[in-house]
């Protein structure tokens, strides 16, 4: 729906779009968040519960997990959202929070079987138009790099497998664990990714970097202002930033309009993005 799309600087957006058109698919790569960006924030009018929430509600974690996780939330979340705390101090605190929480998950009995069971139950839903989007960029071999600070990054490829879309052009950079033969989490897989360091995660040495070297026109998708940092690790020349503001918040809307080239409101679909890609790639609708 058109009323769900806000483009604050239409002239600037059109100028960027023409640059992307000139470069074609060979010059494009996409960087995206996962939760509440490629997926819906609300399903049947209810906020989608995090996979960790679903695990402890399903008794997949020990009884004391919730209380101890809540204590960590109460300690560190005020630091995350306090605008007066310097960024470097926030980064240090977030590293402590994520690392401590992952150790708690290990102690609480995190198991791959339980993660798979949550994925199978299907509480998470991709946005309308995601299947078309994934098919389109796979056909044109446009790399999609997904950064996620989700506490259970192992679930992300499982969700793509569920919809038969775990294509080779999809590269997932997320928090994950090392597991033993019984499927139990036994140690943290480095590096730790949190809301303030997504763009600082080094991809050097990974095969994807060779692919991205000459693809300097970037599409960025996110649902928070922190997601704007995801391109800090990339040597891009042109960028179109598209943000999902999934709930009504007038103050945040002004920030999103200032920072994102396009804002999609009301937990909207991917239709605008798909139309943009078709136009940029000169494809028939």
Tell me, yes or no, whether 138 and 230 share the same domain: yes
Indicate whether 1 pLDDT > 50: no
13 and 71 inside one domain: no
Where is the domain boundary, 67, 91, 117?
A: 117
- By percentage, how much of the chain surpasses pLDDT 70? 96
Structural domain count of the chain: 2
- Whether this prediction's pTM lies above 0.85 is answered by yes
Query: Residue 269: inside a domain, yes or no?
Result: yes
Q: Give me the pLDDT at residue 205, please.
A: 62
Q: Are 198 and 64 members of one domain? A: no
Residues whose CB is less than 8 angstroms from the CB of residue 256 and which lie 6 or more positions away in sequence, other chains included: 225, 243, 245, 263
Q: Largest Cα–Cα distance of the chain, in whole Å?
A: 57
Domain boundary at 117, 147, 171, which?
117
What whole-number percentage of the chain has pLDDT above 90?
74
Same-domain status, 80 and 23: no
In a domain, 230, yes or no: yes
Indicate if 106 and 161 belong to the same structural domain: no
Asked whether residue 285 is domain-assigned, the answer is no
Helix/strand/coil for 148 = strand
Q: Are 201 and 191 in contact (CB under 8 A)?
A: yes
Decide which of 62, 87, 117 is a domain's last residue. 117
Q: Are residues 74 and 160 in the same domain?
A: no
- What residue numbers bound the domain in which 60 lies? 46-117
Clarify whether residues 216 and 146 are in a common domain. yes
Helices (H), 140-182: 155-162
**Tell me, what's the pLDDT at 203?**
64
In a domain, 189, yes or no: yes
Q: What CATH number is given to the structural domain containing 56? A: 1.10.150.340
Question: Residue 202's pLDDT is what?
Answer: 55
Is residue 218 domain-resident?
yes
Alpha helix (H) ranges present in the chain? 10-23, 51-57, 65-81, 87-107, 112-121, 130-139, 155-162, 207-212, 250-259, 271-280
* Cα(133)–Cα(274) distance, integer angstroms: 6
149 with 251, same domain?
yes
pLDDT digits (tens, 9 = 90+) for 61-114: 999 999 999 999 999 999 998 989 999 999 999 999 999 999 999 999 999 999
On whether residue 275 sits in a domain, the answer given is yes
At 269, which CATH number? 3.40.50.1000
Q: Is the same domain home to 12 and 89? A: no
State mean pLDDT over 249-276: 95
Residues annotated as part of the active site: 33, 35
Indicate whether 200 and 249 sit together in one domain.
Answer: yes
Structural domain contains residue 96 = yes
Q: What is the pLDDT of residues 219-248, one digit of tens each?
A: 999 999 989 988 887 889 999 999 999 998
Chain Cα centroid distance, residue 89: 23
250 has a pLDDT exceeding 90 = no
Is residue 20, in this structure, part of any structural domain at all?
yes
Average of per-residue pLDDT values in the chain: 92
Do 230 and 250 belong together in one domain? yes
Examine the domain organization and report whether 77 and 19 are in the same domain: no
The pLDDT assigned to 204 comes to 62
pLDDT in tens, 158-184: 999 999 999 999 999 899 999 999 999
């Amino acid at each position: 729906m058109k009323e769900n799309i806000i483009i604050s600087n239409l002239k600037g957006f059109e100028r960027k779009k023409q640059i992307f058109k000139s470069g074609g698919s060979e010059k494009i790569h996409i960087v995206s968040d996962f939760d509440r960006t490629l997926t819906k924030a609300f399903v049947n009018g209810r906020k989608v519960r995090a996979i960790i929430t679903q695990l402890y509600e399903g008794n997949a974690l020990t009884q004391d997990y919730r209380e101890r996780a809540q204590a960590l939330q109460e300690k560190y979340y005020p630091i995350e959202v306090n605008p007066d705390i310097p960024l470097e101090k926030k980064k240090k605190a977030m590293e402590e929070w994520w690392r401590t929480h992952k150790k708690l998950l290990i102690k609480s009995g995190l198991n791959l079987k339980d993660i798979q069971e949550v994925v199978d139950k299907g509480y998470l839903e991709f946005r309308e138009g995601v299947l078309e989007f994934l098919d389109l960029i796979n056909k044109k071999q446009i790399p999609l790099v997904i950064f996620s600070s989700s506490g259970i990054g192992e679930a992300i490829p499982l969700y793509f497998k569920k919809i038969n879309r775990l294509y080779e052009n999809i590269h997932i950079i997320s928090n994950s664990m090392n597991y033993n033969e019984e499927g139990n989490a036994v140690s943290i897989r480095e590096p730790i990714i949190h809301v303030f360091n997504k763009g600082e995660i080094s991809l050097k040495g990974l095969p994807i970097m060779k692919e991205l070297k000459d693809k300097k026109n970037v599409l960025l998708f996110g649902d928070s202002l922190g997601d704007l940092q995801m391109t800090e690790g990339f040597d891009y020349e042109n960028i179109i930033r598209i943000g999902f503001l999934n709930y009504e918040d007038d103050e945040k809307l002004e920030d999103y309009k200032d920072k994102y080239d396009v804002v999609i409101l009301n937990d909207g679909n991917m239709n605008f993005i798909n139309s943009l890609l078709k136009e940029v790639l000169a494809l028939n609708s």
